[in-house]
Amino acid sequence: MKKIATYKELTDAHARLQPLMTLRQEAARSDAEQRELLVCGGTGCQSSRSLELLENLNKEIRAAGLEKKAVAHVTGCFGFCEKGPIVKVFPDDVFYVEVTPDDAKDIVQGHLVSNTLVERLLYENPAEPGHRLEKQSDMGFSDYVTMQKMKLASRLLKEGSLKVYQISEMLGFDSSYYFSTVYKKFTGMSPSETIALTGGHDEE
């Protein structure tokens, strides 16, 4: 297989292969006899009580009498640690972010029993406030790029070698204010708060 070398080649490959992914997802959805709730078991998510969440999900599934129709089990890291713990419902391809053990009942009663999305747990695109994504596959490349930029920004802020405006410029934002807005939406804290956690000083 030819190695992808440019962003354009990446987007072209995505456009070419997306129909195949859609077929695969639809086939899985039509053949599935039960739903699977995949709970992230990565180190970061475990520290945020993902295993307790897993236990609660299965407890709520049993309480709803859905043992033969649904099961929750742990899986590997989804690579989206900043928004963990994550629960992905298969074959629906719906993914919930920042899920706590207390959210288990809402997911089981809402998603499994009533076939209703738990809107508050859907991923919100930080670049488009108010716009929530139902499926992980709905995350376009721009969303993915933003996510990677925020991961890098978080690391750079913690290292403390660059000022906020320098990081903003390096990542291609028009202003440090817009960068800070997106960063806070994505991480739940401002750049200055991230710096303060590491014992540094806020220098724009």
pTM for this prediction: 0.60
Q: Tell me how far apart the alpha carbons of residues 55 and 11 are, in angstroms, rounded to a whole number.
A: 39
Q: What is the pLDDT of residue 30?
A: 44
Q: What is the pLDDT of residue 31?
A: 45
Q: What is the pLDDT of residue 45?
A: 81
Q: Which CATH number fits domain 10-138: 1.20.140.10, 3.40.30.10, 3.40.50.1820, 3.90.1150.10?
A: 3.40.30.10
Q: What is the pLDDT of residue 104?
A: 97
Q: Tell me how far apart the alpha carbons of residues 101 and 104 are, in angstroms, rounded to a whole number.
A: 6
**Consecutive 10-residue averages of pLDDT for the chain (204 residues):** 65 67 52 79 84 96 95 84 85 91 97 94 77 72 75 88 91 88 83 81 52
Q: How many CB atoms lie within 10 A of CB 79?
A: 11
CA distances from 29 to 36, 89, 115, 170 (A): 11, 11, 14, 42
Domain-wise residue ranges, the chain = 10-138, 141-197
Q: Do domains 10-138 and 141-197 have the same CATH topology?
A: no
- Reported as a single tens digit per residue, the pLDDT across 140-163 is 666 677 777 888 888 899 888 899
DSSP 6-55: SHHHHHHHHHHHHHHHHHHHHHHHHH-SSEEEEEE-SHHHHHTTHHHHHH
Q: Which CATH number fits domain 141-197: 1.10.10.10, 3.30.70.890, 1.10.10.60, 2.60.40.10?
A: 1.10.10.60
Q: What is the pLDDT of residue 102?
A: 97
